[in-house]
Amino acid sequence: MDGKVALITGAARGQGRSHALRLAEEGADIIAVDICDHIDTVPMTMGTADDLAETVKQVENLDRRIVARRADVRDSAQLQAAVDEGLTEFGHIDVLCANAGIASMGLTWEITEEQWQDMMDVNLTGVWRSIKAVLPTMIEQGTGGSIVITSSMAGVMGLGGIGHYTAAKHAVIGLMRSLVNEVSVHRIRVNTVNPTTVNTPMIQNDAFYQYAGGSAEQMAALFQSLNAIPVPWVETIDISNAVLYLASDESRYVTGLTLWVDAGLGTKVGTG
Amino acid sequence: MGRMDGKVVLITGAARGQGRSHALRLAGEGADIIAIDACTDVASAPYALATEDDLAETVKQVENLDRRIVARRADVRDHAGLKAAVDEGVSELGHLDVVCANAGILSFGPAWELTDEQWQDMIDINLTGVWHTLKATIPTLIEQGTGGSIIITSSVAGLKGFGYVGAYSAAKHGVVGLMRTLVNEVSVFNIRVNCVNPTTVDTDMIQNEAAYGYFQVDNREDFGAVFQTFHTMPISWIEKRDVSNAVLYLASDDSRYVTGLTLYVDAGFLNKVG
């Protein structure tokens, strides 16, 4: 990733921080964006300003440059300001990791208006807004680019109890497929990464344990029974390695791919 | 520190083309190689296949990278011969970690006009040959107890229906199904199984008179113009190294939890509309 600049949304912690570090390790400079705030319908913690500051510290420890800015992917003006600041500092943007996302749970017909709307606004429209904020620049640069959207295995399967999350994660795949037909001529590639459960604060919390069986142990047992490789989750590094492949020139002709990092979840038939 | 340090990789169809490219890419990252090729023509494949000289050249180029390589002639249609070659390679190099089931042929014709020979050769090599390769290697991977990575060369024709390659398409779809079943059988052993699904790759498999003739062109440029229309990205074909980079990702521990994936390297082929 020498000479490359990557913009990562949701970079304060979790997968986003992991991508920042993995790409920086390989030579990228980073524009790190996070809401650094909580959204009411989200039943677990979200990234904070302290978290984002820690991401900055860790990237700088790798001797890479980083611009970090609070921005809510629901707000195009905030995103544009972050992009502009990054461009002023670095001169170009080569990669977008549209990674910012939230989770909440409920049966499809019991999800509240607010839960539904927040999910669409962040996990779907937020991805569109992030892409809108960088694409004109990428096209103008004339040097191609790579957009990696964090979808999910819930983007290709329908797990119960997260209908709005599933809808949004499916939808970004559709968005990707349209974009491929629009931006390939500019050598801009668009792909999704589709993880199974990842070991982050998004799943390691009481609300998620409750959703997935009751306790931390029950959640782990459930997901281990759903994955083909008998692990309850993958680590953020596993997603970051996939993102690195898609962000780098090693995948220069890969576009429109749904890259599953799923321990076989999407292929497994039966449980146990 | 290479991404494949300490690993042994078996590659079928390693004499030239994508197979040789994988051998070099993986050896370049530290792997030792077991290189297998039939080194013989197949009558129904309308172009010359790899030769013993080609396989010897693969050996030379891997050794130039200071890696070890065991090369054997074996036809993936012959399970016993293939197994013997695999076992010799594993015996000499000490263990096996990655299997690239890459050997394959191509031939053309409307599906209802294919000859029995065209159909049978295609299924025998591109589908049954892959199964034979897995039969010959999975027991070793299981016995070793250290997991493994199996990468099957499918194609965009394994996911979408490409005209005039009916037997090829059937076989390339077939190995995707085989992969999906295997995921349900070998994941418990930490053996991962994935497909790489390339669009047209710039190799001898397509750059030949028979292929040109089938598309009513007689030169590389005009052939390229036809294939460019299939991609959203403005290219006619991808290079072998583009497939090898995908194979490297799947072969290495970077993809330790990736299994059941159809990794298409297709310049937008599968998603193109219009």
Amino acid identity for residue A259 in this structure: L
3-state helix, strand, coil in chain B (%, to 5): 50, 15, 35
User: Chain B: residue nearest A184 by CA?
Assistant: B233
Instruction: Assess contact for A223 and A158: CB atoms under 8 A.
Output: no
In chain A, what residues touch B147 (CB-CB under 8 Å)? Answer: none
User: How far does A7 lie from chain B, in Å, by closest CA?
Assistant: 22
A31 beta partners: A7, A67
Kindly write down the DSSP assignment for every residue of A65-114, as one continuous string. Answer: -EEEEE--TT-HHHHHHHHHHHHHHHS---EEEE-------B-TTT--HH
In chain A, what residues touch B272 (CB-CB under 8 Å)? Answer: 180-181
* Contact yes or no for B232 and A266 at CB 8 A: no
Long-range CB contacts (within 8 A, 24+) of A55-63: A55/A11, A55/A12, A55/A13, A55/A16, A55/A17, A55/A20, A55/A21, A56/A32, A58/A17, A58/A20, A58/A21, A59/A20, A59/A21, A59/A24, A59/A30, A59/A32, A62/A21, A62/A24, A62/A25
Whole-number Å distance between alpha carbons of A55 and A33: 10
pLDDT value at position B1?
A: 87
In chain B, what residues touch A229 (CB-CB under 8 Å)? Answer: 187-188, 190, 192, 257, 259
pLDDT value at position A272?
A: 60
Nearest CA to A99 out of A161, A162, A172, A183 is that of: A172
Instruction: Assess contact for A57 and A72: CB atoms under 8 A.
Output: no
Kindly write down the DSSP assignment for every residue of A2-67, as one continuous string. Answer: TT-EEEEES-SSHHHHHHHHHHHHTT-EEEEEE--S--TT-SS----HHHHHHHHHHHHHTT--EE
The stretch B184-194 carries a mean pLDDT of 97
Instruction: Assess contact for B226 and B164: CB atoms under 8 A.
Output: no
Its pTM stands at: 0.94
pLDDT value at position B206?
A: 95
Structure tokens of B132? 């034979």
Quick check: A251 contacting B, CB < 8 Å?
A: yes
User: How far does A179 lie from chain B, in Å, by closest CA?
Assistant: 10
pLDDT value at position B274?
A: 85
User: Chain B: residue nearest A185 by CA?
Assistant: B233
Whole-number Å distance between alpha carbons of A144 and B233: 11
User: How far does B274 lie from chain A, in Å, by closest CA?
Assistant: 9
Nearest CA to B86 out of B10, B6, B13 is that of: B10
B152 beta partners: B101, B195
3-state DSSP call for residue A252?
coil
SS3 labels along B223-263 = HHHHHHCCCCCCCCCECHHHHHHHHHHHHCHHHCCCCCCEE
Whole-number Å distance between alpha carbons of B128 and B251: 22
Whole-number Å distance between alpha carbons of A204 and B256: 22
Q: Which residues of B are catalytic?
A: 168
In chain B, what residues touch A257 (CB-CB under 8 Å)? Answer: 263-264, 266
* Contact yes or no for B271 and A266 at CB 8 A: no
From first to last of the 272 residues of chain A, give the pLDDT tens digit. Answer: 999 999 999 999 999 999 999 999 999 999 999 999 999 999 999 999 999 999 999 999 999 999 999 999 999 999 999 999 999 999 999 999 999 999 999 999 999 999 999 999 999 999 999 999 999 999 999 999 999 999 999 999 999 999 999 999 999 999 999 999 999 999 999 999 999 999 999 999 999 999 999 999 999 999 999 999 999 999 999 999 999 999 999 999 999 999 999 999 999 998 76
Query: Testing the interface with B: which of A180, A229, A234 to mutate, by most B Cβ within 10 A?
Result: A229
pLDDT value at position A270?
A: 84
pLDDT value at position A271?
A: 72
Structure tokens of B30? 């530290």
Cβ contacts below 8 Å, chain A against chain B, sum to: 125
> B40: which DSSP letter?
S
Q: Residue B54: which pLDDT band, with cuts at 50, 70 and 90?
A: very high
In chain B, what residues touch A242 (CB-CB under 8 Å)? Answer: 249, 254-255, 258
* Contact yes or no for A238 and B256 at CB 8 A: yes
Quick check: A252 contacting B, CB < 8 Å?
A: yes
Nearest by CB: B249 against A196, A245, A255: A245
Whole-number Å distance between alpha carbons of A80 and A83: 5
Query: Testing the interface with B: which of A225, A267, A269 to mutate, by most B Cβ within 10 A?
Result: A267
Nearest CA to B85 out of B71, B104, B101 is that of: B71
User: Which helix (H) or strand (E) is B5 found in, with range?
Assistant: none
Nearest by CB: B184 against A189, A263, A268: A268
Burial call B58-85: b when 16+ CB within 10 Å, e when fewer: bbeebeebebebbbbebbbbebebbbeb
Kindly write down the DSSP assignment for every residue of B48-100, as one continuous string. Answer: ----HHHHHHHHHHHHTTT--EEEEE--TT-HHHHHHHHHHHHHHHS---EEE
Residue showing tokens 């992917």: A73
In chain B, what residues touch A251 (CB-CB under 8 Å)? Answer: 245-246, 265
Quick check: A91 contacting B, CB < 8 Å?
A: no
* Contact yes or no for B254 and A241 at CB 8 A: yes
User: How far does A225 lie from chain B, in Å, by closest CA?
Assistant: 11
Whole-number Å distance between alpha carbons of A51 and A16: 11
Whole-number Å distance between alpha carbons of A92 and A106: 41
User: How far does B180 lie from chain A, in Å, by closest CA?
Assistant: 6
The pLDDT tens digits of the residues spanning B19-36 come to: 999 999 999 999 999 999
Q: What is the dihedral of CA A39, A44, A50, A51, to 10 degrees?
A: -110
* Contact yes or no for B264 and A262 at CB 8 A: no
Sheet containing B148-153: order of strands: B69-73, B32-37, B8-12, B98-101, B148-153, B191-198, B262-265
Q: Residue B56: which pLDDT band, with cuts at 50, 70 and 90?
A: very high
Whole-number Å distance between alpha carbons of A181 and B64: 42
In chain A, what residues touch B263 (CB-CB under 8 Å)? Answer: 254, 257, 259
Nearest by CB: A255 against B233, B255, B257: B233
Nearest CA to B244 out of A227, A98, A174, A252 is that of: A252
User: Chain B: residue nearest A175 by CA?
Assistant: B271
The separation between CA A92 and the C-alpha centre of its own chain, rounded to angstroms, equals 21
B interface residues, A as partner, C-beta within 8 Å: 180, 183-184, 187-188, 190, 192, 199, 231-235, 238, 242, 245-246, 248-249, 254-261, 263-268, 270-274
User: Which helix (H) or strand (E) is B159 found in, with range?
Assistant: none
The per-type count for chain B, helices as H runs and strands as E runs, is 9, 7
